[in-house]
Structure 1
Amino acid sequence: MTTPLPQPGYRWVIVVASALILAVSMGAIVNGMSAFIVPMQDQFGWPRGQIALVNFAGIVGLALGGLVMGPLSDSKGTRPVVMFGVTVLGLCYMAAAFMSVLWQFYLLFFIAGFFGAAAIFPPVMAAVGNWFFVGAGMAIGIASAGQALGQGGVPFVSSFLIKSFGISGAFGATGVFMLVTLLPLGLLLRQPPVAGAAQLKASAAEEDTVVPTKTVIVTMSAAIILCCTCMSTPLMHLVPLIQDRGFAAEDAGGVIFVMLLVAILGRLAFGKLADVVGALPAYMTATAWMTLLVFGFIYIDRLSTFYVYAIIYGFGYAGVMTGVLVSLRVLTPPSRRASALGIVTMFGWFGHAIGGYQGGALYDLTGNYTAAYAVAAVAGVLNLIIVSTLLRKTRRPQAVPA
């Protein structure tokens, strides 16, 4: 009988703490601004494309900052870097309560992304993977499920905060909540124990490094910028789309909240699927699901239909980021994994920024969201074409040792 491979029990504390940290921080920086688009347009008279650039600035900061904060976490440890990022992010949201000029929001959210969110996402995701010698797909799925919860929960709660306290009050309350909740969670993060020979052997058995690392990084970077352009369009512009159909902000926020609650199950399911059928097939399945359904939001005009469609869409789209993260784990050697994660996710955040901005810009140009969601669908198709080339390379015949 095979003896189970010993793994540290504290790894599940790392997973839960990471999921909660990602829920609040990434929910705020990735698409937390979606609840503010229509209120800021009404209060300040700014076009939606210019308001969406606030989100663009934050995600560009996150993308660039990851190249700095990832290596810093490797040298200084996960906990101090994450604690610094949480503090910066919370203070930036509190400072946003006092802003009234667009360029101030752009600068502030770039700082929040570069020094705040970038000091959280790469270190936390790397920590989760490093604590698991085998079966990391499910663990990464759980951690990224926390992010899905936040991406639905933060806009949903923000809608109520804006209604009760106004735009400034909502920003300030969110910043205080970040500091009060995330700093204690950050204290739970620890460095993983040193792996023994058995753990290293088991971990190496899960890897598939037949494709050169440089090829993996280039291909995945090109793919992820397209899939995240597709993904971020409804994340940023589903709430405004529903409001344009005549429904209240709370109803619109409720739809995306339900969608991203279902996404929690989707991320868990696709994490397990990656462990069973392989990371790239799981990633392509999730991307195909998202691509086939994303344009359908345009044809909906009933709130109940939005809820049903968002549930179906949310389950499949949720597996995209899980698939990316698990794919990088199995396709890159440990010595270059952190660098690969920093580079590829940088292009992913660029895709998020592009998708969010093009949605607002094309709305301002055309007066509706049809063109924006069409661009999202085309980006998803191109992503599938690129990833399929990488899948074929990983499945090429290999020599069988005598």
Structure 2
Amino acid sequence: MSNRLKFRKYLVLAACFLIMAVSFSIINNITSLFIDPVTKHLRLSISSFSFVFTIGAITTALMSPIIGQLISKVPLKAIMSLGAILAGGGFFCYSLATQIWMFYVIAVIVGIGTSCLTVIPISTAITHWFEDKKGMALGIAMAGAGTGSFIWMQIVSRMLTDLSYQETYAILGLIILVVCLPLTLFVMKMPPDTTIEAKKKEKISYKDIHWSMQLILFALGLFLLGVNISGTKMHIQPYLTHLGHPLTFNANVGSTQAIFALLGNLIGGYVFDKLNLRNSIIIFVSMSLLSYICLIYGAFAPLLFVFAALFGLCLCLPSMLPSYGTSALFGKEHYAMHLGFINMIFTFGGALGPMISGFIADHLNYTLVWVTYFALTVLYSIFLLISLRSKKPQT
């Protein structure tokens, strides 16, 4: 690879990091801070507002296979630029919503934008630019989400103290547009050997996917992983409020989680490159199980920071496992289409998580929420580990 291409691939990696740090972290990782002010102002139940996240996740899931196919036919910058406009503009529109159905409609727009802007396009670009050390490259790109979460958790918590939630929504939407749109227009592109000109001649469809028991089990495991992660992330802040902690304490717990999520992506990238998928999954699932024990006994405040550290470290699983696992198990052939299908199933799980948490919290209690997710963690780890035994991984 020439020096010019080497510079370009690291420029693409930096852009991916920034896009994840701004758009993904704002839309997915800090919006739980809005649950309390919005539900109180509009007199909504937690479960009804949590459905906003569910709609966004369902939209992202339905868009995933479409984006997976479009990447082979449409220039990457066109897809991602449209995503930046819809994600940033949609998030701005949350500031104008006065009824719950408006939040639901806007969530569809934001979900489409997120699909076009983040995980699938970024994972596809990284996988093709970095032939070797793709685990570390993916880890760095996805670490943007942890970095952004740490920064935005502090900023947004203070914004919500000093400003209305409507003003906060508007400012964040504009930030997404101003930062991400130039990056998608002027930096993001595929390497020369996977240009659209070379790929658009191929007539490919989802019939070209290697359907197998391995794929089904892997996707099912990721479905349950999605339920766990989203259901937990979106309800940590309401849970801390439920325990009676002040907003500053809650923000510190969230920032601790974000710091360790950043470390987790970097460490996870190294672990995924050095160890096999099976051992990597076992390590991070063990951390996840311990984190839920800390939440169950969350009345003892120091355990909440232990939870934040452990849970943050194992967040490399949802950020890296779909992308890295797809490449490792099924190869680069039709990578975006495999990832589109797998990410759709994973995101459907993510769509259910907040709704499940909200329902249990509204009708029972948060302790039962964490017990449920402890059990699901055991179950999804079994599916993932079986999928790795059913067929020799492809590299």
Specify the SS of the correspondent of 2:361: helix
CA contact (8 A) 1:259 1:314 kept: yes
CA contact (8 A) 2:87 2:111 kept: yes
CA contact (8 A) 1:19 1:145 kept: yes
Specify the SS of the correspondent of 1:76: coil
Residue 379 of structure 2 aligns to which amino acid in structure 1? L
Tell me which of 375, 383, 386 is aligned to 1:378: 375
Displacement of 1:213 after TM fit?
A: 5.1
Paired residue for 1:346?
344
TM-score, scaled relative to structure 1: 0.87
Tell me which of 18, 23, 26 is aligned to 2:24: 26
Name stretches of at least 5 consecutive residues in structure 1 with no aligned partner: 1-5, 196-211, 397-402
Paired residue for 1:97?
95
Residue 72 of structure 1 aligns to which amino acid in structure 2? L
CA contact (8 A) 2:56 2:108 kept: yes
Paired residue for 1:256?
254
For each residue in 1:228-256, what CA deviation from the matched residue of structure 2 results, as whole angstroms up to 9, or x when unmatched? 21122321111111112222223212211
CA contact (8 A) 2:22 2:145 kept: yes
Displacement of 1:37 after TM fit?
A: 0.9
2: CA distance, partners of 1:135 / 1:41: 44
For each residue in 1:36-87, what CA deviation from the matched residue of structure 2 results, as whole angstroms up to 9, or x when unmatched? 1111222121110111111111111111112222322221121111111001
CA contact (8 A) 1:213 1:332 kept: no
2: CA distance, partners of 1:7 / 1:282: 31
CA contact (8 A) 2:260 2:309 kept: yes
Paired residue for 2:283?
285
Displacement of 1:161 after TM fit?
A: 1.8
Question: Taking structure 1 as reference, are residues 256 and 306 closer, same or farther at Cα in structure 2, changes over 3 Å only?
Answer: same
CA contact (8 A) 2:222 2:384 kept: no
2: CA distance, partners of 1:109 / 1:152: 23
Displacement of 1:94 after TM fit?
A: 1.3
Paired residue for 1:44?
42
Structure 1 position 359 matched with structure 2 position 357: yes
CA contact (8 A) 1:152 1:260 kept: yes
Paired residue for 2:386?
389
Name stretches of at least 5 consecutive residues in structure 2 with no aligned partner: 195-209
Displacement of 1:313 after TM fit?
A: 2.9
Displacement of 1:174 after TM fit?
A: 0.6
Residue 31 of structure 1 aligns to which amino acid in structure 2? N
Displacement of 1:151 after TM fit?
A: 4.0
2: CA distance, partners of 1:146 / 1:83: 19
1: CA distance, partners of 2:376 / 2:305: 24
Specify the SS of the correspondent of 2:44: coil
2: CA distance, partners of 1:296 / 1:135: 34
Moved more, 23-32 or 232-241: 23-32
Displacement of 1:220 after TM fit?
A: 1.6
TM-score, scaled relative to structure 2: 0.89
Specify the SS of the correspondent of 2:178: helix
Paired residue for 1:190?
189
CA contact (8 A) 2:290 2:310 kept: no
2: CA distance, partners of 1:106 / 1:179: 21
Structure 1 position 274 matched with structure 2 position 272: yes
Specify the SS of the correspondent of 2:164: helix
1: CA distance, partners of 2:151 / 2:266: 18
Specify the SS of the correspondent of 2:96: coil
Specify the SS of the correspondent of 2:390: helix
Displacement of 1:155 after TM fit?
A: 4.2
1: CA distance, partners of 2:126 / 2:30: 24
Question: Taking structure 1 as reference, are residues 155 and 104 closer, same or farther at Cα in structure 2, changes over 3 Å only?
Answer: farther
Moved more, 215-224 or 306-315: 306-315
CA contact (8 A) 1:283 1:320 kept: no
CA contact (8 A) 2:64 2:340 kept: yes
For each residue in 1:256-275, what CA deviation from the matched residue of structure 2 results, as whole angstroms up to 9, or x when unmatched? 12212111111111111111
The 5-angstrom pairing of residues 151-300 of structure 1 reads 151-186=149-184, 187-194=186-193, 214-300=212-298
1: CA distance, partners of 2:266 / 2:317: 8
The 5-angstrom pairing of residues 2-151 of structure 1 reads 8-114=6-112, 116-121=113-118, 122-151=120-149
Using the aligned pairs only, state the percent identity: 23
CA contact (8 A) 1:29 1:59 kept: no
Paired residue for 1:309?
307
Displacement of 1:304 after TM fit?
A: 4.1
1: CA distance, partners of 2:276 / 2:228: 23
2: CA distance, partners of 1:235 / 1:382: 19
CA contact (8 A) 1:144 1:321 kept: yes
Moved more, 35-44 or 152-161: 152-161
Question: Taking structure 1 as reference, are residues 369 and 152 closer, same or farther at Cα in structure 2, changes over 3 Å only?
Answer: farther
Moved more, 243-252 or 44-53: 243-252
2: CA distance, partners of 1:333 / 1:302: 46
CA contact (8 A) 1:279 1:326 kept: no
Paired residue for 1:369?
366
Displacement of 1:332 after TM fit?
A: 0.9
1: CA distance, partners of 2:126 / 2:58: 24
Displacement of 1:284 after TM fit?
A: 3.5
2: CA distance, partners of 1:316 / 1:69: 27
Provide the aligned C-alpha RMSD in A: 2.4
2: CA distance, partners of 1:392 / 1:364: 40
Moved more, 346-355 or 166-175: 346-355
Residue 370 of structure 1 aligns to which amino acid in structure 2? T
